[in-house]
Structure 1
Amino acid sequence: MKTPHVAASALAAALALGLVSQAQAQDKTAKEKCFGIVKAGQNDCANLSGSHSCAGQSSKDNDVGEWKFVAKGSCKAAGGLSQEEAKAKAKK
C-alpha cells in the first residue's frame, strides 16, 4: 500500500469512530430509566436496594427496584415509575 492510501484509510477509520460515538451519545439521551416494568432476568443494571449490580440479575417480574432503559416519554404508558417514584414506593 502506498502512503496516501494508508493515511486516507486512517482518516476514514477515525471519522467512522467519531460517528459511532456520536450516535451512541444520541441514543442514550433518547432513553430514560423505567422502574417496575422489568421481567425477571431482563434488568439493565443495578437495582435500587443494591442487592445486585449487574444486568440480568432481577429475580422477579415487575419489581419496583429494577429498571431498564426505554424510549424517553414511554415509561408511564408502560405502567412504569421514575426513579423518585420507585424510591418512594419501595420505602412503603
Structure 2
Amino acid sequence: MSASSTLLASALTAVIAMSVAAPAVAASKEKCYGIAVAGKNDCAGNGHSCAGQAKIDKDPGEWKYVATGSCVQMGGMLQPGSK
C-alpha cells in the first residue's frame, strides 16, 4: 500500500469514527432555556442567529446545551417561554 493510500484510508477511518460518535454526544445533551448568562448562549434566539449574543442573564428565549435530564434541576425550561 502506498503512502497516499495509507493516508487516505486513515482519513476515511477518522471521518467514519467521528460520524458514528457525534450522535451519541448529541443524544446526551438537551437545549435548556432560561439559564444562559449574557453572551454565553449556545445558539439563536430573540432576533439573532449566533451563539454568544444573549443580551441579558437567564433570558427565557435563549438556550444553552446541558446534560440530558439536568435542565429543570438547574431552574431552566425545555421549551422557550417566560419565567
Which ranges in structure 2 are unaligned for 5 or more consecutive residues?
A: none
- TM (normalized to structure 2)? 0.87
Shift of 1:13: 1.3
Deviations 1:34-76 (A, max 9, x none): 00000000011111x4x11111110110111110111111101
Which ranges in structure 1 are unaligned for 5 or more consecutive residues?
A: none
Q: Does 1:38 align with 2:43?
A: no
- Residues 3-18 of structure 1 mapped to structure 2, 5 A cutoff: 3-18=1-16
RMSD: 1.6
- TM (normalized to structure 1)? 0.80
Find the structure with the greater CA-based Rg.
1
Q: Does 1:71 align with 2:52?
A: no
How far apart, in 2, do the equivalents of 1:18 and 1:38 lie? 33
Structure number with the higher helix fraction is 1
Paired residues in the alignment total 83
Runs of 4+ in structure 1 over 4 Å off: none
Equivalent pairs: percent with the same residue? 43
